[in-house]
Structure 1
Amino acid sequence: MLKYTLAFLRYKGKVLMINRQKAPWQGAWNGVGGKLEPGESPKACAIREVWEETGIKLASPIFRGIVTWNLDTEPAKGMYVFIANVSPDELSDLPRATREGILAMKEVSWILAENNFGTVPTVRLFMRRVFDVEGCDPADYHCTFNGDVIEKYEIRPLPESVTI
């Protein structure tokens, strides 16, 4: 089982992102998420983490795959990725600072821009497919890093062992 979850909350052409206050990727924009607690399912973790970090209560986030990575020769690590639609009422107090970082809505086109170095680097690689619920099945979006640089990126079938 992977140790982390990540959720992207959407409204129209925008996504709720957090500018991380802590490592890893301090200062970069990312989805909202965190570490699974013992005995917690990935879906329950995504719901809890979104509530803790944003105050938004998710009813049924949609599982969209996993993002895995390995640094140099280390074993792979990863996170479960979810998306959810939110209403404008849930976003009325944005942008705002939290203990985890700054929450703000970002245009999808900004997130996906090829020369955007403001997001966690893996986000641009998988975001378009993650949001394409009708056209793309959940997958394993795998990156191999050399330090903080992505050396290789591949989209692999979701392992049968992945349960949410």
Structure 2
Amino acid sequence: MLKYTIAFLKIHEKLLMINRQKAPWQGAWNGVGGKLEPGETPEACVIREIWEETGIVVHDQQFRGIVTWEPDKEPIQGMYVFLANISAQEVMDLPRATREGILALKDISWILSEDNFGIVPSIRFFLKHTLDETNRPVDYHCVFDGDEIVRTEVRPLHEAVLR
């Protein structure tokens, strides 16, 4: 089982993002999520993390795959990726500072822009495919050298992960 979850909360052509206040990726825009607690399922974790970081309750999150990465000579790590649609009423007080960072709505085109260096680097690799709900969940694999991605690969998921 992987250690982390990440969620992208979508409203029209925007995503609710958080500018992280602490490492890893301090100062970079990211989805919301966090570490699974002992005995917690990825679905329960992402619901809890969304609530803790945004105050939004979701029940219709969709599993969209996993992101795995190989940091410098460490064991492979990863996170479960979810997508949820939210309403305008849930995000009326933005931007807003929280203990985790600053929450704000960002245009998807801005997030995916090749000229945008303020986003966690792996997001540009997997987000477009993740947002297309007709795509089957896959493993988006990244190999890092420091903070730089040196190789990416899209791999099929094993059936056990899809259950």
**Normalization by structure 1: what TM-score?**
0.97
Matches within 5 A, 1:112-151: 112-134=112-134, 136-151=135-150
CA-atom RMSD in angstroms: 1.0
Q: What residue is the counterpart of 1:152 in the other structure?
A: 151
CA distance in 1, matches of 2:162, 2:43: 10
**Normalization by structure 2: what TM-score?**
0.97
Please tell me whether the aligned partners of residues 139 and 156 of structure 1 are also in contact (alpha carbons under 8 angstroms).
yes
1:55-80 CA-to-partner distances (Å, cap 9, x unmatched) read: 00001200000000011322110000
Matches within 5 A, 1:1-150: 1-134=1-134, 136-150=135-149
Give 5+ residue unaligned stretches, structure 2. Answer: none
Aligned pair count? 163
Give 5+ residue unaligned stretches, structure 1. Answer: none
| 1:51 maps to amino acid | W
Compute the displacement of 1:148 (Å): 0.8
CA distance in 2, matches of 1:65, 1:26: 24
1:102-121 CA-to-partner distances (Å, cap 9, x unmatched) read: 00000000000011110000
1:101-147 CA-to-partner distances (Å, cap 9, x unmatched) read: 0000000000000111100000011000000011x110000000011
Compute the displacement of 1:83 (Å): 0.4
Please tell me whether the aligned partners of residues 140 and 159 of structure 1 are also in contact (alpha carbons under 8 angstroms).
no
CA distance in 1, matches of 2:105, 2:129: 19
User: Percentage identity across aligned positions?
Assistant: 65
CA distance in 2, matches of 1:72, 1:2: 18
CA distance in 2, matches of 1:76, 1:159: 16
| 2:91 maps to amino acid | L
Compute the displacement of 1:163 (Å): 5.4
Compute the displacement of 1:6 (Å): 0.2
1:71-92 CA-to-partner distances (Å, cap 9, x unmatched) read: 1322110000000000000010
